[in-house]
Amino acid sequence: MIERRHILGGSLFAASAVVGPFLPPWLISLLTIAFASALVVLGLIVLWRAGLVSFGQALYYAIGAYTVALFMRWTGIHDAFLAVILAALAAALTAFLVGFLLARYREIFFAMLSLALSMILYGVLVKTEALGSTDGFNVSQPTFLGYAPHGMELSIALYWYALGLGAIAAVLVGAYLRSVAGSLAIPVRDNEIRVEYLGVSATKLIHLKLVIAGTLGGVGGAIGAMAISHVDPNMSYWTTSGGFVFITILAGAGSVAAAFVGAVVFEIVRTMSVALLPGAWQLILGTVLLLTILFLPDGIGSLFMRRRRKAQEAAQ
Amino acid sequence: MTPVISVRNLEKSFGSVVAARDINVEIPALQTVGIIGANGAGKTTFVNMITGHITPSSGSIWFSGKDVTGLPSRTICRMGISRSFQVAQIFPSLTVYENMCAAAAIARNNVSVLRFAVMPLLNPEAEAETEEAIDLFQLKKYRDAPAATLPQGVRKLLDIAMAVAGRPQVLLLDEPTSGISVEEKYDLMEIVMAALKSRKVTVLFVEHDMELVDRFAERVLAFYDGTVISDGAPAEVLGDPRVQELITGHALSKTGSAVHA
């Protein structure tokens, strides 16, 4: 059934696509990066609902980014669609494998273990000269099914590409959250014993969530790599994961759309903070986080939810 | 007739502590069995072994002719043995309706987690079944209340209603009336037993209140020191001198009414 929020989401998507070519280059770049981050945050929301906070989502982001970069470098094939599919598969496979370990842990142990895994990758990348060590290496310009834009055209194409992937991911994650497995996030968070005694494995449910979140992280990293045209070990560093967690707090776990709004707000605040206080931009970012936790503990998404609830109550 | 539950030479030790020893019990289908015993007698250990919560040290458990010894709890649950707990196991953040929906969604579909990911939670069939269960367990008044705000008795009722969502053949109730006022106990048991009878469920319930056991059980298993010391009709078991000496501490009155353990 098509609801008002679907129409609103579709309209926003269409409007964002239409205005793209008319936006200044800096804003196109900022939004493309924001959409890449939003994909990672969508994955974090999937985990967050089950009470799992991952401080290591940069692991999948970096794997997605490096997969795209290496694929283009080694094969000479620059197709963005193929590159993103490979990045998604690489991140999904990683999440599937580490999921056997991670799915057994909860709370702070889960958070720290996920952080540790991303830092292991960071260590490997820093020490691997073939991958550019601390400097990383450049990513070739992508093509889109034979279309090879340059300059501003490439920026707009990447913007549309990120927007399209973001929309597809939003629809799929929305459908997942309404599915039985997605709806069981709160039951898993609340009471795993009852979930098990209803006949389903809470560990398997969490493992699936890890793979979904990892895949989204990989796709986000792939877009990030193409947008920045460079990959380096910092993509797997804990501060990158921290940024994604920051956006998730800002967005809240209640709404898929909030991931995009949160990511855009974060990128704008960060960019403006750096412009205003180049030496102490973290101060502004920290203040925003503090204010969000104090006055909007359930994030920007709670504003949508509140409006939707009021509309439902009015309809009844 | 094959018993629905058959327990043979069941034993469980925790280090040097023997929690269950040489338990041999057969439960026919549709029987309502009360399990009595003092604290530490092995009642919950018995329930935990049947439902796969703990693995027996030796012996075997058979369900409808299939050996279920040592199987994971969720597999046993899928096969048709469900349970409730001493402390109600519900989802406090969800409403009663959402709790029941989640339970119905999992229990009705014996599919992989991957299939669950593409199966919508809400569909007309699941919603109808949820409403029916809410009616059956008389939870309508609390339908949209968050489970965290429910009184203890209603929490217990919800826990049991969720355990029945998968239409089990056997239900084990671990102290269904613990923590509930005396006035509420009978109401709760009346609702539960009527609902389970209509669903044709074999019931084993652990209970300390001998009046409730006498009122609702067709058969009683009396546990002492990890083993069954008496097995039979309520009047017979509650009147057994050994049960009176070791468990109830009181004689059963001539009218059949008993007193607390």
Report pLDDT for B254.
41
Domain assignment of residue B257, yes or no: no
For residue A49 the two structure tokens come to 């609902």
For A268, the enclosing helix (H) or strand (E) is: helix A256-276
- Binning pLDDT at 50, 70 and 90, where does residue A312 land? low
Domain assignment of residue B254, yes or no: no
| pLDDT of B110 higher than 80 | no
For residues A48-58, give the mean pLDDT. 94
Q: What is the CATH number of the domain that holds B20?
A: 3.40.50.300
Across the interface, do B166 and A199 touch by the CB < 8 Å criterion? yes
Query: Do the bridges between strand B32-37 and strand B219-224 make them parallel or antiparallel, or are there none, so unpaired?
Result: parallel
Minimal Cβ distance to B91: which of A180, A190, A197 = A190
For residues B189-216, give the mean pLDDT. 92
Q: How far is A17 from chain B (nearest CA, A)?
A: 29
Minimal Cβ distance to B106: which of A189, A200, A204 = A200
Q: Could you tell me which residue, B251 or A37, shows the higher pLDDT?
A: A37
Spell out which residues of chain B touch residue A181, defining contact as CB-CB under 8 Å.
113, 116-117, 119
For chain B, what is the largest distance between any 2 Cα atoms, rounded to a whole number of angstroms? Answer: 60
Report pLDDT for B255.
44
**Could you report the per-residue pLDDT of A231-257, keeping only the tens digit for each?**
999 999 999 999 999 999 988 888 888
Report pLDDT for B66.
92
- Binning pLDDT at 50, 70 and 90, where does residue A172 land? very high
Across the interface, do B122 and A190 touch by the CB < 8 Å criterion? no
d(CA B119, CA B123): 9
Q: Which residues contact A89 (CB under 8 A, 6 or more apart)?
A: A218
| pLDDT of B77 higher than 70 | yes
Domain residue limits at B105 = 5-248
Across the interface, do B91 and A198 touch by the CB < 8 Å criterion? no
For residues A205-224, give the mean pLDDT. 96
Q: How far is B26 from chain A (nearest CA, A)?
A: 23
**Could you report the per-residue pLDDT of B4-19, keeping only the tens digit for each?**
999 999 999 988 888 8
Domain assignment of residue B57, yes or no: yes
Interface of B with A (CB under 8 A): 51, 73-75, 77-78, 82-83, 85, 89-94, 101-103, 105-107, 109-110, 113-114, 116-122, 159, 162-163, 165-166
Lowest mean pLDDT among A299-303, B61-65, B168-172: A299-303
| pLDDT of B257 higher than 60 | no
- Binning pLDDT at 50, 70 and 90, where does residue B49 land? very high
d(CA A53, CA A71): 31
Domain total in chain B = 1
Minimal Cβ distance to A198: which of B92, B93, B162 = B162
Spell out which residues of chain B touch residue A187, defining contact as CB-CB under 8 Å.
91, 94, 102
Percent share of chain B, pLDDT over 70: 95
Mean pLDDT over the full length of chain B: 87
Report pLDDT for A102.
95
For residues B16-44, give the mean pLDDT. 90
Mean pLDDT over the full length of chain A: 91
Q: Which residues contact A163 (CB under 8 A, 6 or more apart)?
A: A13, A16, A17, A20, A31, A35
| pLDDT of B253 higher than 50 | no
Across the interface, do A180 and B94 touch by the CB < 8 Å criterion? no
Q: B206 with B44: CB under 8 angstroms?
A: yes
Is residue A1 less than 8 Å (CB to CB) from chain B?
no
| Residue that the structure tokens 């070519």 belong to | A21
Q: Which whole-number Å values give the CA distances from A83 to A75, A89, B132, in the listed order?
A: 11, 10, 50
Return the closest-CA partner of residue A212 out of A57, A92, A66.
Answer: A92
| pLDDT of B251 higher than 70 | no
For B21, the enclosing helix (H) or strand (E) is: strand B17-27
Return the closest-CA partner of residue B66 out of B48, B78, B83.
Answer: B78
For residues A274-296, give the mean pLDDT. 87
Report pLDDT for B106.
82
